Amino acid sequence: MSDAITQSNTGIPAMSAQGESWQMQQKRSGRLGVNAAFLQEIKDDNRQLKTDWDRLVPMLAHPETALNHWNEIVAALAELRDQLAIHFSLEEAYGYFDDAIDVAPHLSVEAESLKGQHTALFAQIRDLADQFAEADLNRDGQVEKLLRKFDAFQAEFQTHEESELKLILDSFGDDIGVGD
């Protein structure tokens, strides 16, 4: 029996001869490991998120445009809300935060902070989708107010995603010895 990790028929890494899972071996080695199935799911999720944003943003560029596409916007925000639920779940379920912390423990405070932002960001998009769906379009300033809220959410989400990317790149930089 070899020490190599084998793939089971389900695609889940099997135990090594020493009884360690793939993740345990990765953590013990001090390397950040990512499996192909995880990468494909994240890639698909990111592609869908980009499609959702690309569809939604032009409709929200101007109040008159938004009014002309209000039903589409409401549907697109519901789709974005649902996709963000998947996005945040994938990030947390596959443990890239945990792996980054294991590889580079000094990044743990930042990782926990970013992970904690998921709940608040999801609550914001959920509430925003509800507010758009329930908006009184005849009320003065209602559309402009909602567009400003969306812009603020989009900026906050973008900052969050950039911070996550930086965290991962920083942990990979530590893993491969950048700056040695």
Report DSSP state, residue 139.
S
What residues pair up with 13 in beta bridges, in sequence order?
Answer: 7
CA 28 from centroid of its chain's CA atoms:
26
- 3-class SS of residue 13: strand
In the chain, DSSP finds a helix count (H) and a strand count (E) of 7, 0
Residue 59 burial (CB count, 10 A): 17
pLDDT in tens, the chain (180 residues): 333 333 333 333 333 334 433 344 444 444 445 556 666 888 888 899 999 999 999 999 999 999 999 999 999 999 999 999 999 998 887 655 555 556 566 777 787 888 889 999 999 999 999 999 999 999 999 999 999 999 999 999 999 999 988 887 877 665 445 454
Identify whether the C-beta of residue 76 lies closer than 8 Å to the C-beta of residue 52: yes
